[in-house]
Structure 1
């Protein structure tokens, strides 16, 4: 069995880590889906990672659109970068794409739809033979419960949605849209957005030989 604990949109607010200490300490892997900082770089990212490492040193992470590009380089140097990469742990393959599709706000790390497709494909190629596949994409798939902003518009990525339908990962962990905490499905893929970490939610994925479960959990 493999237990993954995941959250994103940390934005340097790590006060709730202690509230999920039991899950952090018993997880096989901690996955950070993006936006570790508020338009900051390596120094602030290291603070977030060091805080998590007090509970569990097994971490994979990727930058989000609110992280400076140097965060991507730093995570690569640390050997834990999910962006455009893939890792296999026994029967489980995990791959990712950070940054985000273009926004109206011109945030530090936005990439094109074509780049999103390219990075996801690169990561998937490294895990394609795994029995179970977990996709971690900071930008949510379009037209789901996980990509709705306050005015009701769906602002996710069509590329991400198409990728899920074509490659059928078992789970997609996403974020980016803080107000769109939700669990949904695209085809047979479970899609989860835990929203901002400081709002008190995170994701638990349990995978064994025969099944996968993925749920939103509250720190309360």
Structure 2
């Protein structure tokens, strides 16, 4: 299986995304699909892709209730849900831990932990699709010089506690932290808005590719 992932579109869908149906089996979208609800029609474009491949989305902290309703209307939202494709369980966790900006879709660490724990506690071969990155990784750095990390401690704890069962965490949120990293056995990828990742499950290989013009 080939899984492709994107994040932080903020209402702009790179043309390359339309080509994913030619080589991928699953597309995961890691939140901030719109910019506070603007350009919500991007969801319809993602839904068109779902005629060809599985499309699994979670809302980001900048996505409004109207965006979440639209994702639900098209059957794309896996926030708080599990979708199984072949032997992989895709588990979604939308929104983010608290930010200084009071965005529409934020939660306490306790809320994020409880929600994710209830989803993964009895699962194997888990592929996490989160908006917030796990704390203290290459995926959540906002200031490299000062080593400031702003990711979710709850997501990190879940990955550590269930490390044998969580094969991958696709995330976003922190635009400047494009990376491939690991927590134990779990691959962590934040493609950032300028890139997409391709994960070959058979080979257990992940690569980042930049969008043209970004």
TM range (shorter): 0.7 to 0.9
Alignment of 1:1-220 (within 5 A): 2-14=1-13, 16=14, 18-40=15-37, 44-45=39-40, 47-57=41-51, 58-124=54-120, 128-129=123-124, 132-150=125-143, 152-168=147-163, 169-196=166-193, 199=194, 201-208=195-202, 211-220=203-212
Give the 3 Å change call, closer, same or farther, for CA 77–20 of structure 1 in structure 2: closer
Give the TM-score taking structure 2 as reference length: 0.88
Could you list the per-position Cα deviations for residues 68-96 of structure 1 after superposition, in whole angstroms to 9, with x for gaps in the alignment? Answer: 12322332333221111111111111001
Q: Write the distance in 1 (CA, Å) between the matches of 2:205 and 2:70.
A: 32
Separation of aligned partners in 2, 1:12 and 1:77: 18
Unaligned runs of 5+ residues in structure 2 are none
The 2-side partners of 1:180 and 1:99 are apart by 18
Stretches (4+) displaced over 6 A: none
Which one has a larger percent helix, Structure 1 or Structure 2?
1
How far, CA to CA, are the matches of 2:77 and 2:20 in structure 1?
22
- CA-atom RMSD, angstroms? 1.9
Q: Tell me if the contact between 1:96 and 1:119 (Cα under 8 Å) persists in the aligned partners.
A: no
Counterparts of 1:48 and 1:118, CA distance in 2: 31
Q: Secondary structure at the match of 2:76?
A: coil
Q: Point out where structure 1 has 5 or more consecutive residues left out of the alignment.
A: none
1:186–1:103: structure 2 CA closer, same or farther, 3 Å change rule? Answer: same
Secondary structure, aligned partner of 1:170: strand
Deviations 1:54-76 (A, max 9, x none): 54533111110000123223323
Distance change (3 Å), C-alpha of 1:37 and 1:20: closer
| Aligned residue pairs, count | 206
Q: Aligned partners of 1:116 and 1:175: how far apart in 2?
A: 16
> Structure 1-normalised TM-score?
0.86
